[in-house]
Structure 1
Amino acid sequence: MTGCVLALESGGATASAALITPSGALRVATAETGQSHSSRLLPLAQELLSQAGLQWSDLTGIAVGAGPGSFTGLRIACGLAQGIALGQGTPLLAVSGFEANAYAWWVTHRDALSADGDDAAADACDGRMFEISFDARLGERYAAVLNLQMVNDQLELEWIEAPSVVSADSEFIASPEIRLDTLKNARQSSGQGNSIQLKDPSTELLGDDRLPLAAWIARFACDPRRSRMQNWVGPEELSPLYVREKVAQTISERLVTPDLVWSPMRLADLASVMVIENQAYPFPWTSGNFTDSLTAGYEMSVLKEQNVMVGYLVWMAVVDEAHLLNIALSPARQGRGLGLWMMRYFISLARTREFSKILLEVRPSNHGAIRLYSFLGFQKIGQRKGYYPQSADSSKEREDAIVMQLALRGDPRV
């Protein structure tokens, strides 16, 4: 997002606002601790606009701290942003504290190393996994695990573990179903193999500038390196991140909720399947591929969320091995940990049916999928030369396939 962007944050003890002007200048303002967020946040925003000689109509976007945090505080920032957006037609962006703080660490360290001329060390900041938690009181913490890296000069952020509530004395920030072995796999597959653990980071990681959280939310929203992240929405779609609410489910809750239902894929499902397939992959299967797979008797299931198809799974049994052929999740549902949950479902299914291993192929260029599979314990066992088409142009060289395997017998459950 370019132009003039306002950021609002009121989920913590101190409310803050930040403004990035069309020239790129950053202005910040904070309310004193103890002052009412509901009475101070709007004046803070108005003050920033007045200082810059701008009007509400000059805003090209509003970024909002979506949480986790105080239930009332989150509603104040979101409600104010929605009111402004309704009046001005301004798009909105929800930025969680997990995303903002991972980005703050990345920018602070990467830029400092680049300024020192250490480009190699700066590049090593890419591909880091962040384990982040915030105090949730009542002996609990809000926690999430995410990965941040540069891919083709674009900033990409991937949720490894969706936000959840964990015990304050948990050994790992990740939720209980992430065991020690799988967490180590994620760390080893993340860039230099180092994970960054941030505990209550807003008070300890922001470098010499000591910028309030709203400033990092604004910088994240305006960073041209994240132009692929199409997260701007209208006011009716903006909502806070209520981690404790059942509507903001953790991955383990999704396992038992009736809102997510697996069912056998049928010919009548193919129209919806093809919509997701063409959105999810640059080289999608054809409807004929799916029809042939159904005819051949492959294991094929669709995942529906409140009766709307959001993903599917295609695999086949070969003696005592389960071969994963296709797994896809609607892009509209990506980035929330649901892809990880789908893979865990498949692994659990394969274990229940007493398969010895799972095999799959993946493009070397599909970095997100490789990280996910490595995180779950898959190991590279080979490479198939020229397995995938590179483009519709037959003159282009085909892409190899990495063959990965997960041993199911004798290993801890994922």
Structure 2
Amino acid sequence: MPVTTKRFAAIDILRGLIMVIMALDHVRDYFHIDALTGNPVDLATTTPALFFTRWITHFCAPIFVFLSGLSAFISSRNKTKTQMSAFLIKRGLWLIIVEIVVMSFILTFNLSYNIIFLLVLWAIGWSMIVLGLLIRLSYKWILGIGLVLFFGHNIFDHLPAFTGTAGFIVEALVTGSRTILPIGSSHLAVSSYAVLPWTGIMLLGYAMGYLYRTEVTALQRERFLIATGFGLLLLFVLLRVINVYGDPSPWEPQKNGVYTLLSFLNVTKYPVSLQFSCLTLGIGLLVLAFFETKENRFTRYVTVYGRVPFFYYVFHFLLIHIVCMLLFFILTPGAPVADPNSPFLFRPVNFGFSLPVVYLIWIGIVVAMYYPCYRYDRYKQANKQKWWLSYL
């Protein structure tokens, strides 16, 4: 018999918090003067402020994917396996289409689609499809496959490189940091999200949903989240100290203690490494446990974003690029809208501002998104019977 499900405030709070932080990196991409010419985590050129501006946003994608799996488990309590499988597969396909058709345009404003970006919605979409196919199996199978992907995918760092078609498949699924697929002579698709490591995170998020059954008390859930969070952080430290497995870029002593710490924390996101996942999810689980019993003005504020993540994700990118376009016309009148060295229209390589200005724009974008998110959430709550809203 279907089980009545409820929303867990801590999940919405954490999701909303990472959505707010996520916008910082996207604003940096469009507005920081060095965003298209430098690497904020390159220790030879970065500053601690710029490094941590990028590093703090590392938490967003893995926690979001993990919470997507967690939410899938909670939702599945009110559906049959057949219904849930069909929903996840259809929603996964929908996210892939949105990534290709909608987000690639919003990111570039290029109606010719010369570059198609396959980013986090691409990874989430394929992960949902895999989960939708696996959901007919037992819980233990899903947990087991998730653990294998999560802990085992970095074994490819120690294997001989694959070549030809096999090499392309392995790169796209497991090892690729920037997989490029030419489409004709003037178009290409670029993916920085190798799918299977992210799928492992989603499967473990789904498995963690076991804690959100009605039989589990909030105190039991909080204790397990804390224990697991600290366990992942301990594993991160051990793997990082050993410096052999779990990340293709080992840390090295630097010119001083600050930069040595940056090197230690500089784990690999593309493709997502085990050490990256342990660090980000470890802290994410501790924050999730912290918000288990917290409610105040701040949590109510970020919850608004966390309840409408898809809406926020799409429209905050659109707002960022529109603001960038307006500032481009104001500050560089007469300049060509396309720069051959930039994938984004209205964002030439030499355009941008200092880091403090980037932070001010970020705050403005987040504040501007609040009311639309609030109104959309109210609309969703008043129209729960509309099936298509579950895809948005």
TM-score of the aligned structures, taking structure 2 as reference length: 0.24
Larger proportion of helix:
2
Q: Report the structure number with the largest CA radius of gyration.
A: 1
